Amino acid sequence: MRGKTVCLLGLVLALLLSGCTGGGDGTAHGRITLRFQSLAWQQESVEANKQLVKEWNASHPDVKVEYVQGSWDSVHDQLLTAFEGGEAPDIIHDASDDLADFAYGGYLADLRGLLAARLKADIPRRSWQTTTFGDGVYGVPFLQEPRVLVANAAWLKRSGVRIPTPERPWSWPEFRAVTRQLSGKGTYGVAWPLKEPVSATLNLSLSTGGRLFHRGADGKVTIRFGAGDEVVPRTIHDQANTDRSASPTTLGSGGSDTLPGFFGGKYAMVPLGFSYRQQIVQQAPKGFRWQVLPAPAGADGLAQGVSPQTLSIAEDSPHKKEAAAFLDFLLRPKNMVRLALGDWMLPTGTAALRDPALHTAKDGWATGTALAADLRPAPAQSVRGYPEWKDKVATPAFQEYYSGAIGLAELRDRLENDGNLVLARYQR
């Protein structure tokens, strides 16, 4: 009898406990729990994110944030599955060029009425444009990285070439001439890692007035490959096929693949994302001297397209106000600097960008920070159908052009004619 009484009491206690625990709304014992999925992957970045979550939890006992580790490699498909299954995290780390489908699909909360005025004012309008879809804002752009030239400092010094600065960058013709001067038998002035050629080409082409995507009065987008769009791809093509100043073997490589050859003295320069500096610091042989240079400039100066990292709130989250308060905490200027240093990237916030830690000559921080004002939304940010156009049309066309298999006229024809057929299906 005593055993049955114990079992009955246990059942009653379990029922009482279940009544005090929220179901899927993230509330337990009066305390709210928010799930924050972070894509931080570098050790310093993971540590910075986890430490900030710990600091929030210590000062906000009624709203606990649970850190969830995600991965850049699978984030789109993973989030789509989570959204459709009703299991999305409350706070979502992603990139602005991945948000369009989620925003238009109704999976992300419109942040316009949720964010603190301080945060909205601190981040420039041009950055907010990267997360604006239709009439809503669906993410906070908080980290960004320009593409820069990472150069063998000793090689450049021996050559006697003019060293560019953000105030006096190389023009694209001068850059081509410099790479010819730096090339020799078995060595190259530059190694272009263009395994993913589309974003690199389009983003750098903003400096030469390239736009490629043109939105008409009816809101529909068409592709026109004009004079400004030609400069960057023609420079890369001629370096690889005419001047022999760019390594042909790296055109199909990723950025990390070029580092051994760079350290080994095979290439004088490699165009890379700003965050690659961490790998260089970790992997460069002892005594190897390198420096960060601005990418070449064109008719529009150092303008360059970027797709910032973003933080969004799930539309299904029952605690949007609390999630927005956490974003405001996470992105305070000092905290944004910590996140930027951990990821070796630039913050979008104007207050954070003034921090002295981002203006040191060491590891090229000052050069990168000087480029922040010239960063613009990537040209294809809000173009419906861009992923299909990129994968099926633009990537193979650019790869064939850079390898010398097709000429500029055929590249234009495929980008425009085949590309507009793809975009038309998304704009009916």
Query: pLDDT tens for residues 128-140?
Result: 999 999 899 999 9
Q: Which of 307, 67, 255, 30 minimizes the C-alpha distance to 149?
A: 255
**Domain limit, last residue, from 294, 328, 347:** 347
Tell me: do 212 and 325 sit in the same domain. no
Residues 6 or more apart in contact with residue 4 via CB below 8 angstroms: none
Tell me: do 284 and 316 sit in the same domain. no
Judge whether 12 lies within some domain: no
**3-state SS class at 272:** strand
Tell me: do 274 and 417 sit in the same domain. yes
Query: Contact at 8 Å (CB) between 399 and 251?
Result: yes
Judge whether 365 lies within some domain: no
List, for residues 144-183, the tens digit of each pLDDT value.
Answer: 999 999 999 999 999 999 999 999 999 999 999 999 999 9
Tell me: do 268 and 325 sit in the same domain. no
**Domain limit, last residue, from 347, 372, 403:** 347
| Phi, psi for 279 (deg, rounded to 5) | -60, -40
Judge whether 354 lies within some domain: no
Tell me: do 181 and 288 sit in the same domain. yes
- Between vectors from CA 103 to CA 99 and to CA 106, what angle results, nearest 5°? 145
Tell me: do 246 and 195 sit in the same domain. yes
Judge whether 126 lies within some domain: yes
Residue 1: what pLDDT? 45
Tell me: do 169 and 214 sit in the same domain. yes
Judge whether 1 lies within some domain: no
DSSP 64: E
Tell me: do 209 and 320 sit in the same domain. no
Tell me: do 83 and 207 sit in the same domain. no
CA 376 to chain centre: 12
Number of domains composing the chain: 2
Q: How far apart are CA 117 and CA 212, in angstroms?
A: 35
Query: Contact at 8 Å (CB) between 271 and 200?
Result: yes
Q: What is the CATH number of the domain that holds 66?
A: 3.40.190.10
Tell me: do 249 and 280 sit in the same domain. yes
Tell me: do 101 and 156 sit in the same domain. no
Judge whether 36 lies within some domain: yes
Strands 375-377, 304-306: parallel, antiparallel or unpaired by DSSP? Answer: parallel
Judge whether 368 lies within some domain: no
Judge whether 209 lies within some domain: yes
| Phi, psi for 215 (deg, rounded to 5) | -95, 125
Q: pTM of the predicted model, to two decimals? A: 0.89
Q: Which two tokens stand for residue 219?
A: 């809101």
Q: In which band, very low, low, confident or very high, does the pLDDT at 427 lie, cut at 50, 70 and 90?
A: confident
List, for residues 45-87, the tens digit of each pLDDT value.
Answer: 999 999 999 999 999 999 999 999 999 988 999 999 999 999 9
Residue 12: what pLDDT? 41
List, for residues 7-54, the tens digit of each pLDDT value.
Answer: 444 444 443 333 333 335 666 566 999 999 999 998 999 999 999 999
Tell me: do 263 and 402 sit in the same domain. yes
**Domain limit, last residue, from 347, 370, 404:** 347
Q: In which band, very low, low, confident or very high, does the pLDDT at 386 lie, cut at 50, 70 and 90?
A: confident
Classify residue 387 as exposed, middle or buried by CB count within 10 Å of its CB (0-12, 13-18, 19+).
middle
Query: What domain range includes position 39?
Result: 29-138+309-347
